[in-house]
Amino acid sequence: MSNNDIMKKLRVALQLRDDDIIEILKLANFRTTKTELSAIFRKDDHPNFQPCKDQLLRNFLNGLVIYKRGPMPKKGESN
């Protein structure tokens, strides 16, 4: 399974729109545009298809943790 397939499945399972994914990536301090994002969701035979790089998937997953759980408390802080 490719990174593109993983991103597609997560987008459908979590019912995320492109704006939501961009906001999640911002939580991990990773910037991307709607154009770059739409290129990874295209079919692999489309001329504008781009493979999803490991860095994008990694930052999306890190941002998703923050999006769902909230930011990690700093060391020395108690909840």
Q: Per-residue pLDDT for the chain (79 aa), expressed as one digit of tens each?
A: 999 999 999 999 999 999 999 999 999 999 999 999 999 999 999 999 999 999 999 999 999 999 998 877 777 766 5
Q: Give residue 40's domain range.
A: 3-69
**Residue at 56 is within a domain:** yes
For 47, 63, 74, the CA distances from 21, given in Å and listed in that order, are 23, 9, 25
Single-letter amino acid code for the residue at 72? M
Question: What's the pLDDT at 51?
Answer: 96
**Residue at 78 is within a domain:** no
Question: What's the pLDDT at 79?
Answer: 55
**Residue at 53 is within a domain:** yes
Domain count, the chain: 1
Question: What's the pLDDT at 74?
Answer: 77
d(CA 56, CA 79): 31
Question: What's the pLDDT at 77?
Answer: 65
**Residue at 76 is within a domain:** no
- List helix spans (H) across the chain: 3-13, 18-27, 34-40, 54-69
**Residue at 32 is within a domain:** yes
